[in-house]
Every structure is written in C-alpha cells, then in structure tokens.
Amino acid sequence: MKLNYRIVIFALAIIFGVFFSAPSLLQTESGKKITLGLDLQGGLHMLLGVKTEEAVKSRIKSIAASIKYFGERNDILIDSLNFDENAISFILLDSDDTSVIKEFLAEIDGAIIVVDAENISLKLSDEEVIKTEKEAISQAIETIRNRLDQFGLTEPVVARQGEEKILVQLAGIKTQEEEQRARELISRAAKLELMAVDEDRAGRVYTMSDADAAEYGDVILPDAKDPRIKHIVHEIPILDGSMLTDASMGFDQNNRPLINFKLNAEGAEIFGDFTGKNVGNHLAVVLDGKVYSAPVINERIGGGSGQISGDYTVMEAKDLSIALRSGSLLAPIYLMEKRSVGPSLGADSIKASMVALIGGFILVIVFMVIYYRVAGIIANIALVTNLFIILAVMSLFGATLTLPGMAGIVLTVGMAVDANVIISERIRELLYKGVSIHKAIEDGYANAMRAILDANITTLIAAVVLYAYGTGAIKGFAITISIGILASMLTAILGTHGIYQVLEKKITKSKNNRLWFGIKGSV
Amino acid sequence: MEFFKYTRTFNFMGKSKLGMIISIVLVLASFALLATKGLNYGVDFAGGTIVQVKYDSPAPIDAMRAKLKENEIFKGSSITEFGSPEEVVIRMKSTSGNVTVDVGDITREALVGTGKFEIRRVDIVGPKVGSELKEKGIMSLILAVIGILIYVAFRFEWRFAVASIIALVHDVSIALGAITLVGLDVNLDVLAALLTILGYSLNDTIIVFDRIREGVTNDRSSKLSDIIDESITRTLARTTLTSLTTFFVVFTLFMFGGEIIHAFAFTLLVGIVVGTYSSIFVASPILLEFGFDVKKYHVKLAARAKREADKQRMRDQFESGTM
C-alpha cells in the first residue's frame, strides 16, 4: 500500500471530525460544543421595541425638576413651571435673576432657550431629541442585560438588532412561571421617584379629577397595595432613581421583605435639603407610577438612604431590587416578536429529527452499496466523515443547531453523496470505454471536478443568501447546509480519490468491476 | 446495479414538445391557483399569533372554541389539530405589544377549565416585523436568483444562464402552486425550502449543462440536439441516483420529522421532483430553442484562444526584449 497526499489529508479530516465533534456527541465536560437552538432546547426569543418618545418626555421632566430645585436653592422665585412632550416654560418673578437663571440653563445639553421678558421657555434641539432617543435604546439594552445577568440563567443574549430593535434570547427557561418572571423583570420600568405630597389638596383628592390636579401642577397616583387609595403629589419629583447607587432586599421588624436603597452624594444633598425644609409633611415613595408608602417626615434625613416597603414576596422583592440596582428604563419597551418554545416540544423535535436523520442515513447507505458495491462503501465513508466534519466545525465555532439546521443535516446526507455519484458514474463510463483502471480513476476525477464545483457553488450561493437574509432558526439551516456542501467537496475530491489511489493496484489485479464499481465484468 | 444501459442514447429532445406542454400547463395551473386561492401567509409574514397547546387527552376543540368566543381578542381565530388529536394550534390575527401579559398568556387564562393542558409554543409576530420578514424574504429570493444568474453566465454562456433561470422560475412556481393547493401556511421555513430548491434544481441543471459544454467543445460535427440527448443520457444515472437519495431523506423527514417540519419537507419533496424533471425537460430544450449555435461557439472559442495566444506572444516578445 502506497500513501499519497490525498489519503493523508483525508485521514487528517477524519481525525479532525471525530476529535472536535466528540465533545458535542459525548457531551463531555470540557471542549467546545454545539449549542442547541431555542427551538430544540426550549426557551424564549423576543424582539423588543423602545418607546423612545417617552425617553424625551422623561428627559424634559427631569430638567423641569432640576430648574425647580435650582430656584428653591438660590431663592429665585419661579412661577407657572409647566412642561409638555418637548418643552418647558416658566415665569421669572424677579427680572434681576434673569442672568443667573440663563447661566444655569445654558449648561443643559442641547437646550434651546428663549427669553421673552419674564417668560422663559426651553426646548430640546432636534439633534438632542435624536440623541436622547438613541441613548434610550442603548440604555435599555444595557439595563436589560444587567438585569438578566443577575437573574441566574446561563448566557442570556441581549443584543441590538437593526437600528432600534432589541433581541433577547433566554435559553433553558423551564417553566411558564420562570418565563413570566423573566418577562416582568425585563419590562419593569423600575422608575423610582421621591415626590412631595401636596398637603394643601390632600384632603380633596377623592373629589378631584386628573385635569383638576394638573392645574395645580399635581398628579393623582394610586396606592400600590390598594389601587382605590389615591395620593396627590407634585408632578415634578424631588429626585428620581437616576441618583440611586444601590438597592438590596432587607427585612423590616416584622420580618417582611423590603427594599433598602442608597442615593449618591447629589441625591443625598437634595434629599437632606428637602426633608429639612418639610418636616411634618408627607413624602411619597413612588415606583412605576404607584405610591408604595407616604410617611410623615419627622426630621431632616441625611445620609441618603431609604426604604421601600410593600406587600411583596421575597422573590418579588429580590427581582425588584435587581431592577432598581440595574437602573430604570428611560423609556418603556414593547413586544415586537416573541417565540417561546417549551422544553418538552424541543425534546420532541430533537427525537423526531433524529429518527429522520437515522432513517434517511440508513436508506442512503444501503442504497449506495447495492448500486455501487465497493465504490458505494467508499462513498459512504465519505458521507460519514462528512457528518463528523459538520458537527466538528459547528462545535469549533460554537454554532447553534436549530430544527431547520437538523433538517439541513438530513438534507446534506442525501445531497453529499452527489459528488461521489458524479465521480463513480464518470469512472464507470470510462471503464466501458475500455481504459485502464488507473486512467479511469484519474480521468474520472478530472472530468467530474468541473461539474462538482459548478453545481455546488450555485447551491452555496443560495445558502449564503439565506444566511444573510434569514433570521433566527433559518440561519441554522444555511449554516449546516453550507458546511455540508464544503465538506462533501473535500471528502469527495480529495478523500475518496485518495482511497482509490491506494486501492488501485488491487482493483487492477482483481479485474472484477462488478465487485468494485457495480458494473458487469470488464468490458 | 445499473439503471440505464451505457450503450443506449435516449431521444429526449424529440419529446421536448410534450415536456414543454406539461410544463406550461403546470405553471399556468400554479399561477391560476396563486391568483384565485392565493398563498396562505403564516404568522411569520402576515403577523399574528400562534399558540400550540397539548392536552393529556384528545383536545376538546368545541369547548376551546366556546371559551375563546368570550374574549374579543380571539375574534377570527382558528383551532386546528396539529399532528395528533391531543395537540392543537390556535391561530389568530391579533398580536400584543405588552411584554408582561401577551396574547399567549391571555390564551392560557381563557382555556382554563377545558382540561389539563400545556402550552408548548407561542409565536407572536407583530405587524412591523411581519412585513419586514416578507420584504427580506422576497429580497433573498431575488438576490439568490441574480447571484446564480451571474455565476452561470460567467461560467457558461448567457443562454445557459437564462435557460437555467427559466427552469428555476418554473420549479418555484410549481412548488408554490402545490403549497397553495394543499393550503400550507407559508412561513420562514417554506422560504428556506424554496431557496434550497433554487440551489438543488440548479445543481441538476448544471450537471447536464456541464456535459453539454463538454460535448460542444469536443464534438464539432454533431447537431446540438444530439449533443444534448447524449449529455442527458450520460448524466441520467447520476440525476436519478442523487434525486433518489435526496428524495429518500426528505421523505423520511416528511414522515418522521414531526409536524413543525412538515411544510418545509413537503415543499422540498415537490421541489426535488420538479427540479429533476426541469433540468431535463425545461432547461435543455430552452437552450435548443434559443438557437445556441455550436459553430458560432467554436468560432468564439477559437477567437478567445487566438487572443490569448497573441497576448502570450506579445508577453514573450516583451520579456525577451525584442519589442
């Protein structure tokens, strides 16, 4: 037996295939493995959109809050402070303060300020609006990622898709409850606001409409424990969750879970100032538009820490503190696409496609041997090698195997024999013409080469387009079929050619074309 | 074992008229179906919601319908069996943007009391994503066709390229007609199957074309129709064999691959049969119809060879310093 470079490469390909596919096939501890797609292992896939206009609105609101605080701190009298989606307006009572306030406003990024005597208005420039919207998306991605990292699933995927979509993929969600929890955690605004109760109107809250409240610059918010209880608070908050540095779960004296939070230096100062000036009044702790508590301020609170008590379970308190800690969403998110597959369905899909794969595989293998005899066996060796190479390459790249990907592998089993069929047919034809075994093999491969290349490259073009334009699970199909095509060219053009070269002398000696190529004796 | 005797050449081109008629009838019938019954877009492209529910006994479809009637959101929804009597799929047009409580959750609530069940799959595709996927899908088909056209024109000749594209349009049209006929939902997987048909059918066509190219290059005397007959006959065993093995595996996928893969496998099955047929009875006769001229081809080949020889001579002269 003489070795040739083809058989050496083929042997290396087999070793490569077996070695690198082993971790996936045997599910070993170490080594790179193929990940199963969400459709096979069960999981949640979501495309989320961001309501960016809300981010602009909340930016305006927080600017309004800072103007109010600035005025109070510097004894500047400000009246009729109002804001809508994109603009703030107020009246300066003392025109001497104009230059001070102008200086303060000038420091706000992207604000266009118009001063008309005592009437001052401020709006965000178009660029600033776009910037704010973009930031809202990036911030949402960052926040959701932070939250999911702490949720305890393995490798959650949070990524931007296109300009304004967020892709969230959670593998290994086992139960409906877990999915529900994850979705609540992701979508929770977790917007903490500390707001001043409007003491003058608190007694009339049940007789007032939202419009009435708005006239006084107030809003009416429901209580978290009992939505029938209403609170009236000043719409512009004292401070919001952006000044929060930490949040964690704790317990009160009755051992009920609550959330402790800490403010940064700026927040602590604002909080201290406010509580110092408002002893005896109520402070509302508002989370996502619901009042969790509204205790009386007994004294100035320094140090900048506080508590949110509510009627929650330990699990809820834990998730809530994760949400607060990872920051609030600047803008609400909404669902654009969702695909959720239960683990039992995934397992069924794996089983079904394995049956199809094994069934198809046996059919093809048996058929090839009946039709081509030894040439069929050689083609089958290439086919098996092919499967190993597909799995090995996918393992190495950590590619995801999806249900359409499984279908792609099944299809490859049918199509991968093609190259060897083309070659074998060419060899048979040459043998009929009465050429020597050596010439039949060499010319057979040479003649078949062009057809194999052209035919496979066109299929590859279709697969590449499918990969570029396909989404989710379909990409998996494009991947397996592409690797399958490339591997089949390698195993057929190099691999089986090498085997024939090794066996050539034997074939020539035996003169039994029926055994070797499945055709009637030598012609 | 051999399917076809080596010594015999089949007269395919003599029967090409019959093949043309069959093809035209099938394509027209497909167009008629597409125009009247129309493609049944699934949630991927039309947007909407799919909820797959499995009961531990045969699904109480009537009770489910009654329950779903109570909520406006399920208006126009349909319940169909999915693979087994225990398993059903609820399809509805409505979607929801709420992350925490979506249509799937509402369905779960609504079905309480109909028996013991498990929700196995929820697909919600919002209208925006649906239309984007549709746009992308159409783009991908067009791009694949253009890519293939360029490649074949480059490797062969423009007539070969046009003939193979006509064969592809033929295959995809008939596959779409078959999908419409049996009323399958057209989703992303069907699109993937259509793209695979493009590649697969072309694969067959190219094998035949490669032989024709070879025959035309080596044989100056024969008529084109004889060369084509010879080429198809010589590749017939390969065409049959590969089509058969592929058909085997797709058929097992169709039978045992599970309900989710059904539409995909069906589309491929049709595509394999039509694709094999078209490479023999559509692509090659069109080549003949287009008046591909063997003599002109040789003149062209000779001209190209001469140009290259000239170039080479110039280069030689340049290198040896005689220029």
Q: For A174-232, what is each residue's pLDDT tens digit?
A: 888 888 888 988 888 888 888 889 888 888 888 888 888 888 888 899 988 888 889 99
How far, in Å, CA of A172 to CA of B244, rounded?
A: 39
pLDDT value for A203: 84
Contacts of A404 in chain B (CB under 8 A): 189, 192, 261, 264
pLDDT digits (tens, 9 = 90+) for B264-290: 999 999 999 999 999 889 988 888 888
CATH 3.30.1360.200, applies to A191-311 = yes
Mean pLDDT score across all residues of chain A = 86
Model confidence at A309: pLDDT above 80: no
pLDDT at A523: 44
Reduced to 3 states (helix: H, G, I; strand: E, B; else coil), residue B281 is helix
CB contact under 8 A, A337 and B124: yes
| The two three-digit tokens of residue A201, written as one number | 């109107």
Q: How far is the CA of B217 from the CAs of A430, A446, B222, B289, B294, in angstroms?
A: 18, 16, 11, 19, 9
CB contact under 8 A, A368 and B206: no
Tell me the mean pLDDT in the region B300-322: 82
B14 Rama class: left (phi>0) / alpha (psi -120 to 50) / beta: alpha
Pairing of strands B48-55, B84-92: antiparallel
Q: B266 to chain A, minimum CA–CA distance in Å?
A: 12
List chain B residues with CB under 8 Å of A182.
none
pLDDT level of residue A271 (50, 70, 90 thresholds): confident
DSSP B169-233: HHHHHHHHHHHHHHT-EE-HHHHHHHHHHHHHHHHHHHHHHHHHHHHHHH-SSS-HHHHHHHHHH
Of A147-151, A516-520, B1-5, B56-60, which has the strongest mean pLDDT?
B56-60
Assess whether the region A5-38+342-517 and the region A191-311 belong to the same CATH fold. Answer: no
Instruction: Among A94-103, A457-466, B129-138, B241-250, name the one with the lowest average pLDDT.
Output: A94-103
Q: What is the DSSP letter of B279?
A: I
Q: Can you point out the beta strands (E) in A320-424?
A: 333-341, 400-401
Closest by Cβ to B140, choosing from A355, A450, A469: A469
How far B62 CA lies from chain A's nearest CA (Å)?
A: 24
Residue A389 has pLDDT above 90, yes or no: yes
The residue among A74 and A400 whose pLDDT is bigger is: A400
- pLDDT for the residue A1: 56
Higher pLDDT, A193 or A441: A441
Question: Where would I find the beta strands (DSSP E) of A2-103?
Answer: 35-36, 43-50, 78-83, 87-92
Q: Would you call A367 and B248 a contact, using CB atoms and an 8 Å cutoff? A: yes
CB contact residues (below 8 A), chain B span 143-162, against chain A: 143-144, 147-148, 151-152, 155
List of chain B residues whose C-beta atoms are within 8 Å of the C-beta of residue A518: 1-2
Span A58-116, pLDDT tens digits? 888 888 888 887 887 777 788 888 888 788 888 877 777 777 778 788 888 878 888 88
**Taking CB atoms and an 8 Å cutoff, what residues of chain A touch B255?**
356
Measured CA angle at A407 (ends A405, A412), to 5 deg: 95
Helix (H, G, I), strand (E, B) or coil at B83: coil
B48-125 sits in which CATH class?
alpha beta
pLDDT of residue B323: 57
Residue A494: predicted pLDDT? 87
Residues of A in contact with B252 (CB under 8 A): 355-356, 359-360, 363, 410
- Tokens for A207? 């007789």
Q: In this predicted structure, what is the pLDDT of residue B177?
A: 96
Show residues of chain B in contact with A476, CB under 8 Å.
none
Residue A197, φ and ψ in degrees, nearest 5: -75, 135
Q: Which residue of B has its CA nearest to A364?
A: B245
Give the separation between CA A407 and CA B3, rounded to whole angstroms.
Answer: 29
pLDDT (0 to 100) of residue A2: 63
Higher confidence at residue A40 or residue A98?
A40
- Of these ranges, A243-257, A402-416, B79-93, B96-110, the one predicted with the greatest mean pLDDT is B79-93
Average pLDDT rounded to a whole number, residues B162-167: 90
Q: What is the DSSP letter of B127?
A: H
Measure the CA–CA gap between B121 and A346, rounded to whole angstroms.
Answer: 10
Are the C-beta atoms of residues B122 and B102 closer than 8 Å to each other?
yes
Q: Is 90 exceeded by the pLDDT of residue A522?
A: no
pLDDT of B207 over the 50 cut: yes
Kindly state the percentage of chain A with pLDDT values over 70.
Answer: 99
Note whether A356 contacts B253, CB cutoff 8 Å. Answer: yes
Interface test with A, best of B201, B206, B208, B214 (most A CBs within 10 A): B206
Contact across the interface for A470 and B188, Cβ inside 8 Å? yes
β-pair partners for A88: A83, A122
Listed in sequence order, the residues at least 6 apart from A63 whose beta carbon sits closer than 8 Å to its beta carbon are A83, A88, A108, A111, A122
Whether the per-residue pLDDT at A17 is higher than 90: the answer is yes
Q: Say if B86 is an interface residue toward chain A (CB within 8 Å).
A: no
Residue A222 to chain B, least CA–CA distance (Å): 20
Residue with tokens 């009323």: B183
At A325 the three-state DSSP class reads helix
DSSP H or E stretch at residue A196 = strand A192-196
CATH T-level assignment (fold) for domain A5-38+342-517 = Multidrug efflux transporter AcrB transmembrane fold (1.20.1640)
Alpha-helical (H) ranges within chain B are 16-36, 43-46, 61-69, 103-111, 127-155, 158-182, 188-218, 224-256, 262-278, 284-289, 294-320
Best CA proximity match to A305, nearest among A194, A196, A224? A194
Q: A46-60: per-residue pLDDT in tens? A: 999 999 888 888 888
Nearest to A462 among B124, B195, B265 (CB): B195
Q: Which CATH number fits domain B13-40+130-292: 3.50.50.60, 1.10.3720.10, 2.60.40.10, 1.20.1640.10?
A: 1.20.1640.10
Contact B249 A410 (CB under 8 A): yes
Beta bridge partners of A219: A233
Task: Please choose, from the candidates A245, A164, A194, the residue with its C-alpha nearest in 3D space to the C-alpha of residue A62.
Answer: A194
Give the start-to-end residue ranges of the domains of chain A.
5-38+342-517, 43-183+326-340, 191-311
- pLDDT, average across residues B110-137: 89
Question: Hey, what's the torsion of the CAs at A138, A141, A144, A150, to 10 degrees?
Answer: -100
Average pLDDT over residues A335-343: 91
- pTM for the model: 0.82
The dihedrals phi and psi of A427, each to the nearest 5 degrees, come to -65, -45
Radius of gyration of chain B (CA): 27
**Residues with Cβ < 8 Å from B82, sequence gap 6 or more?**
B52, B88, B89, B259
Give the domain ranges of chain B: 13-40+130-292, 48-125
What is the per-residue pLDDT for A13? 92
Architecture of the structural domain at A43-183+326-340 = 2-Layer Sandwich (3.30)
Phi, psi of A225, deg, nearest 5 = -80, -40
